[in-house]
Structure 1
Amino acid sequence: MSGTFSKIRNAYKLFKSIDFDKLSKLSQKVDLQQVMDGFSKLDDSQLKGLMKMMNSGGGKKKELPVINGDFYELHLRLSEEDRAVQLKVREFMEREIQPIVNNYWLHDDFPFEIIPKFAELDLCGVTYKGYGCPGKSFLMEGIIAMEMARVDASIATFFGVQSGLSMGSIYMCGSEAQKQEWLPGMQQMKIIGAFGLTEPEVGSGAAGGLTTTAKRTADGWVLNGQKKWIGNAPFADVTVIWAKDLDDGEVKGFLVRKDTPGFEVEKIKGKMALRIVQNGLITMKDCVVEEKDRLQDANSFKDTARVLQMTRAGVAWMAVGCARGAYENALDYTRKRKQFGKPIASFQLIQNHLVEMLSNLTAMQSLVFRLSELQDQGMLKDEHASLAKVFCSLRTRDIVSQAREVMGGNGILLDHNVARFVADAEAIYSYEGTKEINSLIVGRAITGFSAFV
């Protein structure tokens, strides 16, 4: 009798918890007599389980892992101070850049309103000492580049040109007077810089084939020639121009101020990648630059190469950031997108794509982390930076391709971000030395033979 009474009591509790208006609607969909017969066959534990399920609304929602492209937790190797900087940059990019980036990318325009906010980060010239610069490690510079490119590679490129190529040329090749004149204002982003090396007909062959010329005169130097693909050039206050001295045949650097007569910049339009970056075609016709604006410690292409070596590691970090942004956006999408009644992230083939992406990303992160350690230890060689550029830009192509693939047709929409990463990865693949040129630099180092023309 006690067992029967217990069943009745538990059944009463169960039905007491039911909304009878809903029960009336339910009776139109199911056979309640059959349901009652089923209840009568349940034992105590089964009834308790059923009550628990009903009270919880069908059970708790599955808690998914945090989306984190740093699978091997490399950030744990940072100091607390550096980790705080990393998170500060991440928060800035997600708050200030993410909401506006697709619109500016679509319209081939630059968000000038972010420059004062960018300046507040106090990160320009991140590795330089003095002149108001932070004096941080090359590792920190790389992580900053990654965090920026994780949201948008165009913004990372803008910053890289300003903080790396342009300021770096002055920091490494300028006189003390030139450093004092330019670097503090550039650090605060009150002065925007550009870096002019590539020409319409000269890219990879810049070491010996520059056609832009410099001729010493009584008034200073006269520059003639063109430069192409020069980031920030349409609005830069100063542009570093590399030109061949007609007298000694050596490459020299010049600081060309905005609005200098004979110096004209045309914005390059119709790009399919890095559309926020404002690239310029520079034309110089008898452009006169005073001797005081010649970079005093830039006397050959070897000095130009020192600047490029310093910044090439940053480009490898940008590739990592672009890949990480694509992976994290794709993972988020696959956990929300449902097909056949389930999130597509639960399907084997999708998980295989995601794991391949993460594997490449983790390898890239580990490589550039060590690369920056070598740079901080003063051990960086050209071939180290070149290997990182080759590997990371190749693998980024793979990752963004798979990220688009798991998104299906939605992968080509800017709203989901990955389409932008796919396009921008193509530019990263080519600039700061093509895959072929960087491969030959590494090949020369490991074989002892130069395969350059």
Structure 2
Amino acid sequence: MGSLRGGSGGEGRNEDGGKVGLPALEVALAFPQATPASLFPPAVSDYYQLDDLLTNEEKALRKKVRAISEKEIAPIMTEYWEKAEFPFHAIPKLATLGLAGSTTKGYGCPGLSLTASAVSIAEVARVDASCSTFILVHSSLAMSTIALCGSEAQKQKYLPSLAQFKTVGCWALTEPDYGSDASSLKTSATKVPGGWQLDGQKRWIGNSTFADVLVILARNADTKQLNGFIVKKGAPGLRATKIQNKIGLRMVQNGDILLNKVFVPEEDRLTGINSFQDISKVLAMSRIMVAWQPIGISMGVYDMCHRYLKERKQFGAPLAAFQLNQEKLVRMLGNIQAMLLVGWRLCKLYESGKMTPGHASLGKAWTSSKSREVVSLGRELLGGNGILADFLVAKRSAIWSRFTRMRAPMTSTAW
């Protein structure tokens, strides 16, 4: 008898390639006792009622983002996570969230409070961390850099289409040899007639394989200081390739960027970036947003586990009836309440002008650490189903290397 080897769709194959057995059952049929995350669970993780700390406008936006994320993203996230592809057809739906440009006023941007923007990105992360990362790269890095460091002409030219997701942005700082040590980057910018020539390499750049607008950070060959440039998709000498074989954030298209004598006209040099210190205002705000991603991730895991343990019955009772499981749920819920309050306070420190780089770094590191514990407990509570992407937790347990380090005040985030 010929040996069998795995095939697609849950079917085995013999040595001649013939199919053996039947396709895998849909998870709802194979495991009818619990509802998969394609139908997202009700939100029950805001136990201390964070909404009381929000304005009416912030509450309304949070409710809108939650509804759209649950309706449009939840049903497709497992399929695209498995394929490691981005759901481009969902971009118009993400555009309706009204989050691109976040706190920027004018140029078609929403001009949100930082609190509204942070709470909303947590709501996206609650359903899918990859989609929240896509928005953060596009909005809190690419768009914010143009808004804070670009000329008036650059803002008028690029921000309106980015705000509507008619074009997509990425932000390229991290390099293969210098991940966290971004101040040592080697990508060079050389002055040439009419503009600049960029040479070098970037790595782990989210959205880079399909971005229309690439914000590239490079070292000025003459001054040795950091400069910023806007590079358009398809520029001669620009190459972006997808990083393969990721086990986390699989929908995010992280890429390697190669820059070989890429010409950038003078009008596309970001005039407000003349040293590494000049991007500190971008990194400060982006760190707050990144601190809220693990908050949203934890909320989604708790909500999923809460529903699962009520639906799943063993030994004649729902799993939620057993004290060992209740204790884990309590620890998860307690972590989330503390994370929400730290995240809220971080926003208020920023909005009042009191936030320091240390505040941002501590908040990012601490919320990530507590979220890691929440996801670990969730994995235990779901048993064997904890390794299925259909029940959400497995998708969350493979993303933590990018969150957990407490970076120095002026180092990069690997996007």
TM-score over 0.5 (shorter chain): yes
Within a 5 Å distance, the mapping from 1:263-278 to structure 2 comes to: 263-278=238-253
- Mapping for residues 96-135 of structure 1, pairs under 5 Å: 96-135=72-111
Q: Which has the higher helix share?
A: 1
User: Which has the larger displacement, 123-132 or 99-108?
Assistant: 123-132
Matched, 1:145 2:121: yes
Normalised by the size of structure 2, how large is the TM-score? Answer: 0.87
Work out whether 1:377 is the aligned partner of 2:352.
Answer: yes
Match of 2:55 in 1: 79
Q: Which has the higher contact order (CA 8 A, sep 6+)?
A: 2
The within-5 A match list for 1:287-298 is 287-298=262-273
Contact 2:378 2:386 (8 Å CA) reproduced: yes
Distance 1:356 1:264, change over 3 A: same
- TM-superposed CA distance for 1:67, in Å, is 5.1
Aligned residues: 370
Cα 1:251–1:67 change in 2 (3 A) is closer
**Does the CA contact (< 8 Å) of 2:388 and 2:394 recur in 1?**
yes
- Per the alignment, residue 32 of structure 2 pairs with none
Does residue 406 of structure 1 match 2:377?
no
Q: For residue 274 of structure 1, what is the amino acid of its counterpart?
A: L
Name 1:60's counterpart in structure 2. Answer: none
What displacement does 1:356 show?
Answer: 0.7
1:328 matched to 2:339? The reply is no
- Range that drifts further, 327-336 or 177-186: 327-336
Q: Does structure 2 retain, via aligned residues, the 8 Å contact 1:227–1:281?
A: yes
TM-score under structure 1 length normalisation = 0.80
Amino acid at match of 2:124: M
Q: What secondary structure does 1:99 align onto?
A: coil
1:180 matched to 2:156? The reply is: yes
Alignment match, 2:176:
200
| Distance change (3 Å), C-alpha of 1:425 and 1:327 | farther
Distance in 2 separating the partners of 1:210 and 1:244: 7
Q: Which has the larger radius of gyration?
A: 1
- What is the CA–CA distance in structure 2 between the aligned matches of 1:331 and 1:394, rounded to whole Å? 21
Q: Distance in 2 between matches of 1:69 and 1:296?
A: 44
Whichever residue aligns with residue 89 of structure 1, its letter is V
1:125 partner SS: coil
Inter-partner Cα distance in structure 1 for 2:403 and 2:161: 28
Range with bigger deviation, 234-243 or 72-81:
72-81
Q: Name the residue aligned to 2:38.
A: none
Q: Deviations over 1:369-388 (max 9, x none)?
A: 01001111122211111011
Instruction: Report the counterpart of residue 428 of structure 1 in structure 2.
Output: 403
Task: Kindly state the Cα deviation for residue 304 of structure 1 after the two structures are TM-superposed.
Answer: 1.9
**CA distance in 2 between partners of 1:67 and 1:270 (Å):** 33
Alignment partner, residue 25 of structure 1: none
Structure 1 residue aligned with 2:21: none
Residue deviations 1:395-442 (CA, integer Å, cap 9, x gap): 11110000010111111111111111111344333xxxx33x24xx59
SS of equivalent to 2:397:
helix
User: What's the % identity of the aligned pairs?
Assistant: 46
Distance 1:67 1:287 in 2: 48
Alpha-carbon separation, structure 2, partners of 1:357 and 1:81: 29
CA distance in 2, matches of 1:402, 1:150: 16
Q: Is the 8 A contact 1:67 1:332 kept in 2?
A: no
- 1:146 deviates by 0.4
Q: Which runs of 5+ in 2 are unaligned?
A: 1-41, 411-415
- Equivalent in 336, 356, 360 of residue 361 of structure 1: 336
Shift, 1:291, TM fit:
0.7
Query: Residues 78 and 300 (structure 1 numbering): CA distance in 2 closer, same or farther, change over 3 Å?
Result: same
Structure 1 residues 65-97: Cα deviation after superposition (integer angstroms, max 9, x where no partner): x75111110112222222111110000000000
**Conserved in 2, the CA contact under 8 Å of 1:67 and 1:331?**
no
Q: What's the offset of the Cα at 1:305?
A: 2.2
Contact 1:268-1:279 at 8 Å conserved across structures: yes
What SS does the corresponding residue of 2:394 show, helix, strand or coil?
Answer: helix
In structure 1, runs of 5+ residues without a counterpart are: 1-65, 443-453
C-alpha RMSD of matched pairs (Å): 1.4
The change in CA–CA distance for 1:67 and 1:137 in structure 2 (over 3 A counts) is closer
Tell me how far apart the structure 1 counterparts of residues 85 and 402 of structure 2 sit (CA, whole Å).
Answer: 17
